[in-house]
Amino acid sequence: MPSLNVLIARGDICNCLRSKQMFYEGDILEEDPLHPHPHGPFWCVITQSLIGPDGGLAGDKTCRPGRSCCETA
């Protein structure tokens, strides 16, 4: 599975979703072979918490197109 940065760049998940993994050293679009799956904790840029603007949890499985607050590229 691609990294969180790749999923956001492709528009597969909301561009407001964040995790610590996104800020590690290296190319932000490069897949990390040591950590092939996005991992949390996740938070929403809009609310700055684990809860999105719609009251649901922020996460790589939940912040997808179709969710009322999802913003994709």
Confidence (pLDDT) at 26 = 54
Confidence (pLDDT) at 22 = 81
Burial class (CB in 10 A: 0-12, 13-18, 19+), 47: middle
User: What is the pTM (predicted TM-score) of this model?
Assistant: 0.79
Amino acid identity, position 17:
L
Confidence (pLDDT) at 58 = 96
> Would you give per-residue pLDDT tens digits along the chain (73 residues)?
678 888 999 999 999 999 987 877 554 445 556 655 667 789 999 999 999 999 999 999 999 999 999 999 7
DSSP state of 67: B
